[in-house]
């Protein structure tokens, strides 16, 4: 009797968990759809501004030099690493993959003799690096919907510190969204910028002001939109991995309910058989 009650209680508990994970899956699906829309909306602008940089680079000439394109004249022997994690868990391997990639990037840079300054985004990244006993210089929180104004302010501060010679390079570790079924943890060198490739377009443009002046304005914009795209990709990846994780949890709960129900029915049938046997044995004893 006690076993039957225990199985029934467990079945109720698993069904409750199943309802919770199903609800979380639906919420994650809605957030993923919204985040994917935002990421798709910013992607054409990001790609176009990079193409425009290439077109203007052809007019600026190969002698064009910008502070964002070259390491400081006097090496600071220090690099900045920005790791973009999440504030919440229950999103599968998202945080694990990003944080491992961040740790590998830091290890590689330290092996090269660099002093690493770490900045994190999200509570999970803070907890991970605290446990790993890695000092965190700055902690940022942007939520599920990173706003361009917030990311722009961060990018401008980083560019200012890089131009001032505080860092030799700046790296961003984030989860790149490729498709719904594929996301990749990547370490992107944000600064110094690689020399822009001249566009292959056959069209000839006349620039006013000069190509060098326009390029000097476009390069900071390129940095801002690149880091903003990284934040958008990270948000989409987090939501899609949480959606998949919660769907898997819901399916597992459904399978566990079926197993418990089968065991419950077997225990109940065994109890009924035992009671019938006792009744028949008692009746036989009275004869």
Q: Flag whether 259 is in a domain.
A: no
Give me 120's structure tokens: 């994190």
Each residue of 224-242: pLDDT tens digit? 999 999 999 999 999 999 9
Q: Coil, helix or strand for 79?
A: strand
The one-character DSSP state at 67 is G
Residue 263 inside a domain? The answer is no
Q: What is the pLDDT of residue 199?
A: 53
- Its domain, for residue 115, covers 26-191+211-243
- Residue 202 reports pLDDT greater than 70: no
Read off the pLDDT of each residue in 111-138 and give the average, rounded to a whole number.
95
- Look at residue 179 and tell me if it is in a domain: yes
Tell me which of 114-118, 142-146, 194-198, 282-286 is least confident: 194-198
Is there a domain that residue 261 lies in?
Answer: no
Q: Which residues pair with 79 in a beta bridge?
A: 116, 169
Q: Say how many Å lie between the first and final Cα of the chain, rounded.
A: 30
Is 11 among the domain residues? no
Residue 62's domain is classified under what CATH number? Answer: 3.40.1380.10
Number of Cβ within 10 Å of residue 45's Cβ equals 13
Q: State mean pLDDT over 119-133.
A: 96
Sign of CA dihedral 259, 264, 265, 267: positive
| Digit-coded pLDDT (tens) for 32-85 | 999 999 999 988 888 888 788 777 776 666 667 788 888 777 888 999 999 999
- Domain annotation covers residue 273: no
Q: Are 104 and 67 in contact (CB under 8 A)?
A: no
> Where are the alpha helices (H) located in the chain, listed in sequence order?
2-60, 94-111, 123-131, 148-163, 211-286
Domain-located, residue 151:
yes
Please indicate, yes or no, if residue 253 is contained in any of the structural domains.
no
Q: How many domains does the chain have?
A: 1
């Amino acid at each position: 009797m006690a076993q039957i009650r225990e199985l029934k209680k467990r079945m109720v508990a698993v069904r409750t968990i199943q309802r919770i994970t199903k609800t979380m899956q639906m919420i994650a699906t809605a957030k993923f759809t919204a985040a994917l829309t935002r990421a798709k909306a910013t992607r054409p602008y990001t790609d176009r501004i990079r193409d425009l940089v290439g077109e203007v680079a052809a007019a600026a000439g190969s002698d064009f030099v910008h502070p964002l394109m070259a390491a400081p004249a006097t090496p600071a022997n220090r690099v900045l690493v920005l790791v973009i994690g999440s504030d919440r868990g229950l999103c599968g391997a998202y945080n694990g993959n990003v944080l491992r990639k961040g740790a590998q990037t830091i290890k590689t840079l330290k092996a090269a003799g660099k002093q690493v300054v770490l900045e994190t985004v999200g509570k999970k990244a803070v907890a991970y690096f605290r446990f790993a006993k890695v000092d965190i210089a700055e902690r940022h929180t942007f939520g599920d919907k990173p706003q361009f104004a917030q990311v722009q302010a961060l990018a401008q501060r980083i560019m200012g510190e890089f131009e001032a010679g505080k860092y030799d390079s700046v790296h961003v570790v984030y989860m790149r969204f490729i498709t719904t079924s594929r996301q990749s943890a990547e370490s992107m060198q944000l600064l110094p910028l690689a020399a822009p490739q001249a566009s292959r377009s056959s069209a000839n443009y006349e620039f006013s002001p000069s190509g060098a002046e326009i390029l000097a304005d476009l390069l900071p914009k390129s940095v801002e939109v690149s880091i903003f795209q990284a934040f958008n990709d990270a948000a989409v990846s987090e939501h899609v991995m949480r959606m998949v994780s919660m769907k898997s949890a819901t399916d597992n709960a459904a399978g566990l309910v079926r197993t418990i129900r089968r065991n419950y029915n077997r225990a109940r049938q065994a109890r009924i058989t035992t009671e019938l046997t006792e009744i028949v044995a008692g009746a036989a004893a009275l004869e």
